[in-house]
Structures are given as structure tokens and as C-alpha cells.
Amino acid sequence: MGTWPQTSAMFALARFLGMLAMPTGLLWLGLLGATAWAWRRQRGLGRFLAALTVLFTLAGNLQLGHALMGRLERQVPPFPDRDAPLEALFVLGGGTELDTAGVPLLGPSGDRVARAAQLWHAGRVRRLVASGAGSGGAHPRNLGAETRALWLGLGVPATAISIIEEPCLNTRQEIQAYGRLRRKEGWQRVGLLSSAWHLPRALALAQREGLAVVAVPADQQGRIPPWQLWHLVPQEEGFRQTQLACWEWLGRALGR
């Protein structure tokens, strides 16, 4: 038992040194070195590099990235577990990717797809509706069709799945298409499922379009992990989450 703290410390140090050897770690070390060099020789340049280093450090900080995502996710109410089943659940695109053979698979936000299937199997939803379009090299991607293929593989019958056939290239277009489909089908109680950090913008768009929906969050990423030594080094996950959060705020400011 006495060797556990020593082993843990050695692991943390090894992970820290490994992160420093990664491209972002090397760039961070280069910025620190350049800042120290310039600060002694040209104070104005040193201040500029110091500010750049601080921004780079914060943008890639894992703790800050999770905190920003959590701030978005806390704006979304939890899905009510005991209410009557939803007549339809609108699932925003973005949860799928294609492998090298063009076969759909779950992407980084694939919990959107899995969560929808889980709710259908639990009897919480009567119909799943997929949407979205994207670029795929020479051929445009039908994100709704990709989502449907994955739902079929997860045991959801084709009779319980609908697809928005019109190409929707952004969230606003998807929301507008959902509104038209809801009026056509006469659905009264519908849900809107997306990543929890994306839902605040999607719900604002739905409200603007007059589409009343029940928020169904998935793909929560706002839990801040316990601090570790290697979190000092800017890293890919931190940059990803910070950029996603900033993208959501920008999209909401632009009304898209």
C-alpha cells in the first residue's frame, strides 16, 4: 500500500512528459521559450508573446474546456422520466461518420443516435425523426439516412423511423423542417434531441420558429475531471471543447 502514492506520482510525471512531447506540447514549450527570450530583449514583443501564450494555454486547457461545455449544458432542463411518451423525437444530425467504405458509424457525438434508440426501446418515444446533410467529398451526405441505418442496426424497426428528405445544412434549416413535418402529421407532443451543449442554441431557434418541443439532452461533456499534472499542458480535447463552446455562442449570436 505504501508504494501507491509513489506509483501514482510516477504515472502523472510520465503522462506530463508524454503530453509535452506531443505537437501541441512542443508548440507550447516553444511559445514559453520565445516569450522568455523576447521579454529580456524586446519588451513589447515579449508582452505580445506572453499574451499569445496565455491564450493558447487557456484554449487548450482541459479543465476550462469542460467548464465551458458545462455552462452550456446547465441551461437545458433534464428530460422528464415520468411523462407520457413523445409522439415523435426529432434528432439533429451530426452524430454519424462514414468509414473508408462509406458505411455509417457513430461519430464523436454519436450518443445522439444511441440515446434516441434507447428511448424508443424504453417506450418513451413512438417515432424517431432524423435529419441533416453534409459534404462527403464528391457526393453530399444524407445524415438522416446514415442515422436511420444505425437505428436499424440497433433494433429500431423501419416503421418507427422517419427522415427529413430535404437537405438541411444547418440547425436552423433542420428546425424549420421539423416544424413543417409536425404541422403535417398533427403531432402535439414532440421532443428535440441533440448534444446537451448544442441544445441551448437549438431550443432558441425552435422558440423563434414557434416550435414547442421537449428538450432531450445527450452527449453531456461538461463534467470537470479531477485535476492532474498533465492538464497543465494544452491538449486536443481542451481545444476541441473550447472551440465547440465558442461555436455555439457564435451560432446563437448569428441566429443560426
Q: Which domains does the chain have, with CATH numbers?
A: 60-256 (3.40.50.620)
Q: How far is CA 253 from CA 53, 70, 194, 217, in A?
A: 27, 19, 19, 21
pLDDT at 254: 84
Quote the DSSP letter at residue 82. Answer: S
Would you write out the chain's pLDDT as a tens digit for each of its 256 residues?
Answer: 456 556 778 888 899 999 999 999 999 999 999 999 998 888 889 999 999 999 999 999 999 999 999 999 999 998 887 778 999 999 999 999 999 888 999 999 999 999 999 999 999 999 999 999 887 566 788 999 999 999 999 999 999 999 998 888 899 999 999 999 999 999 999 999 999 999 999 999 999 999 999 999 999 988 998 988 889 999 999 999 999 999 999 988 887 7
What local confidence, expressed as pLDDT, does residue 17 receive? 92
Q: What is the pLDDT of residue 3?
A: 61
Distance (Å, whole) CA 128 – CA 148 = 9
Query: What pLDDT was estimated at residue 1?
Result: 47
Q: What residue ranges in 28-173 does DSSP mark as E strands?
A: 88-91, 96-98, 104-106, 128-130, 133-136, 139-142, 161-163
